[in-house]
A and B are shown apart, each in its own frame.
Chain A
Amino acid sequence: MKNFLPIALAITTIAFTSCEDDDSPVIEQEIEVVAPATYSFERNGESTVSFSGQTTRIAMAQEIVSEMSDFDNASIASLTDMFANENNPFEDADLNASDKSVKSKVAASTDYFSTNAAASAEIKAYIESHFTTQINEVFPAQNTQASIGVAGQIADGESTRYVAANGLEYNQIVAKSLIGALMVDQMLNNYLGTNVLDAGTNIADNDADVLVEGKVYTDMEHKWDEAFGYLFGNSADPANANATIGSDDFFLNRYLGRVEGDEDFAGIAQDVFDAFKLGRAAIVAKDYELRDEQAEILRTKISEVVGIRAVYYLQQGKNAIEAGNFGTAFHDLSEGFGFVYSLQFTRNPDTDAPYLSREEVQGIVSQLTAGNGLWEVTPATLDLISTTITDRFDFTLEQAGS
């Protein structure tokens, strides 16, 4: 997917220039903001880039997802404690010592949820309900062969998957739902939004280089970095984050890497990284219009990643159902389910609303869980859901489906 915005802008510029009358030749000096080669920004020789809170939450999310497959040790209490970071639940002592948690940032963005507390609470509760299903329904059936309406294990090629009675693999659903509810929501609807970037005296402070108490960065710089951190917070070398794109976490980073690996979308990782870099450089240069243009690019591209992977897994699952490989199908459809759930957190810059509304997502969830759930889902239903999604985006079923 190429971005035609620059062309459009160029044409507009030409149009405007040709309409200007040149009686009074006042020459305004246009300073062009140039992004650095890497995501590195300094003030007085010190790096101003900081996103440790995001790195922490990504690590917490990884432990939560691993815990969901730990038949010998996990409990509802251990999972809910990890989710809320209570009672020192983590293996990593640094995480226990942290005052942060995943739960506090799930469905918690300023733009989408500050006046939508009910939905926020429902979403948190929904994710927690998966912990209960996993412990009460899936774990006791560890050594049962799954069958229609019966929880248990099912073969997926060389792997064994553990599914609930409706065929859903809840560790996958939690992992993929967090991509939307935590990473995408915080990035697109909180830190990249003007409500957060320009909060309080942020513009005046950034204009005058007024730093946060005891820090080397302005508040606006830091907010932008926090958005960056939800994608690259666990990167081996965040300054050159794309060198290891796809292998730095199990969440958004991994799936941006996967989409990048599809030749239909090659280049998207560079587009995303460049937009983060240029937006951050724009903040340093006090060019907020340019900053917001980059935020729009990020909203488009990151939302696309979620949409593309949702369709990809629904189509892979459909193919597996047609081939009679239920284990493979359930694994793919559970991932797809999580990505569909994540669509309610995406952000279309043209409408400032998600590409699929919460109600539409809940409608799809009902379709996939009706009756005996995935055991009875038809290829026609999966195609219908897939085209519902592709109709909202600029990519096609063929591009995303394989």
Chain B
Amino acid sequence: MKKIFGIIAIALFFYACGSDDTTITTDDSGTGNTGNFDRSAMLTNWADNIIVPGYVDFNAKVNTLESATAAFTADASDLTAVRAAWLDAYTTWQRVSIFEIGPAETVNLRLNVNIYPANVTTIESNIDNGSYDFGLSSNRSAKGFPAIDYLLYGLGADETAILAVYNGAEGAAYKQYLNDVVADMKQLTVSVLSEWQGSYRAAFIENDGASATASTDRFVNDYIFYYEKFLRAGKMGIPGGVFSGNVEVGNLEALYAGNLSKELFLVGLDATQDFFNGKAYNTNAQGESLSSYLDELNAIKDGVDLNEIINSQFDVARASVSALGSFESELSQNPPSTFLESYNEVQRLVPLLKVDMVSAMSISIDFADADGD
């Protein structure tokens, strides 16, 4: 029995050698496949010019949101300023959501600030009870940006009705909850930023080897995981019914504010492409990146530079999504064919990143669809 398996295994091995791999990498360095590329320079560019400035900006936006929330809860007469501060922070979040490694991974930042849709039942029962522990994972869907979305847009049919809640019999409890949600976000953000500004930056850059636990390998995994699961599936695939067969409008981001999910998606897409190209946060300066790494490796697919193929697919996906109406209006079509065609363009990047790019870099993908049940 075991012997037969051996024969089959050998046969499969030989068969695998015959597969026609279209990504050709010219590389004289043999194993390791980092070519002459300086991974440490790329890690430094990531940390100093993209990740840390991103967190600094996000932290500033959360602080502004905190002040705006404090002002609103002191005098709940106008939602305009606090809503604007929420949207600004939420938009900036889309640029840093990718960086779920190290400090952010330790505190599960993404799961703590952006599980959507918010669980309204839990939010209301928390407010009703007047006591809640935001450290419990069962409260993750009752806080963060989606909870604020509900608290600023979903408590009533219009602004007047929402303000009436804050100025009504239970108003104090709602105000307290809103402040507590923002305070929780602030505490998490500060902890992540201070780790990066403390010892983590050096640890991240020093781990510049090529192995499953090296910073480059781990972060590339996190980056692709973000693209595939949180950008592609979370913002488009799931609401579009790609996986369930049913359109799920209720799973759109910024559900209560409405008509923002497309813009939030596009910010995330820009952030993903900018990161690929090593573009410094909010400027046009470029440093060592996944793109220059592929260049150094001379990664070619079907006779074209792989980094060009990836960049042009980013552009195609962006143009396709930009041309759509709001996601809400697209998903009201049955079936939402135009939306799904755009999704397909977004999906086309997945194999380019997850197969072609990583095989050129000899990075193995360590995540799979969880056997969740």
Chain A residues at the B interface, C-beta cutoff of 8 Å: 2, 4, 142-143, 145, 153-160, 250, 254, 258, 316, 327, 335, 394
Contact = CB atoms under 8 A, between A and B. Distances in A.
B229 to A, nearest CB: 10
A258 B372 CA distance: 11
Interface in B97-125: 108, 111, 115
Interface string B136-156: 111010000000000000000
Given A155-B108, A250-B373, A316-B371, A160 B1 contact: no
B137 A160 contact: yes
Given A155-B137, A159-B137, 8 more contacts: A143-B136, A155-B108, A155-B140, A158-B111, A159-B372, A160-B137, A258-B371, A394-B1
Interface centre among A159, A316, A394, by most B CB within 10 Å?
A159
B370 interface: yes
B30 interface: no
A192 B1 CA distance: 26
Given A143-B133, A394-B1, A153 B370 contact: no
B135 interface: yes
A157 B108 CA distance: 9
Contacts of A143: 133, 136, 138
Nearest to A264: B5
Contact of A154 (B137, B371, B372): B137
Contacts of B373: 250, 254, 335
Nearest to A159: B372
A103 B155 CA distance: 46
Contacts of B1: 4, 394
Which secondary structure dominates chain B's binding surface? loop
Contacts of B136: 143, 145, 153, 160
Nearest to B5: A396
Given A143-B133, A158-B115, A394-B1, A153 B138 contact: yes
Nearest to B372: A159
Contacts of A145: 133, 135-136
A21 B370 CA distance: 61
Contacts of A327: 137
B137 A153 contact: yes
A330 to B, nearest CB: 13
Interface centre among B4, B115, B135, B373, by most A CB within 10 Å?
B373
Interface string B201-228: 0000000000000000000000000000
Which secondary structure dominates chain A's binding surface? mixed
A263 to B, nearest CB: 10
Contacts of B135: 145
Interface centre among A2, A155, A156, A316, by most B CB within 10 Å?
A155
Contact of A160 (B4, B138, B372): B138
Interface residues of B, number: 15
Interface centre among A154, A158, A316, by most B CB within 10 Å?
A158
B7 to A, nearest CB: 11
28 contacts: A4-B1, A4-B4, A142-B138, A143-B133, A143-B138, A145-B133, A153-B136, A153-B138, A154-B137, A155-B111, A155-B137, A156-B137, A157-B111, A157-B370, A157-B372, A158-B111, A158-B115, A158-B140, A159-B137, A159-B372, A160-B137, A160-B140, A250-B373, A258-B371, A316-B371, A327-B137, A335-B373, A394-B1
Nearest to A332: B371
Nearest to B110: A158
A174 to B, nearest CB: 14
B105 to A, nearest CB: 11
Nearest to B108: A155
A151 to B, nearest CB: 14
A354 B133 CA distance: 47
A153 B140 CA distance: 12
A73 to B, nearest CB: 14
A159 B108 CA distance: 12
A153 B139 CA distance: 11
A354 to B, nearest CB: 21
A4 B5 CA distance: 12
Nearest to B8: A2
A234 to B, nearest CB: 16
Contacts of B108: 155
A335 B138 CA distance: 21
A327 B137 CA distance: 10
Nearest to A312: B371
Interface in B340-371: 370-371
Contacts of A335: 373
Nearest to B133: A143
A402 to B, nearest CB: 9
A151 B66 CA distance: 35
A215 B371 CA distance: 43
Interface string B1-17: 10010000000000000
Nearest to B370: A157
Contacts of B138: 142-143, 153, 160
A372 to B, nearest CB: 21
Nearest to A327: B137
Nearest to A175: B373
Nearest to A394: B1
A250 B115 CA distance: 26
Contacts of A156: 137
Nearest to B137: A155
B298 to A, nearest CB: 32
Contacts of A159: 137, 372
A272 to B, nearest CB: 20
Contacts of A158: 111, 115, 140
A166 B288 CA distance: 49
B342 to A, nearest CB: 25
A148 B85 CA distance: 41
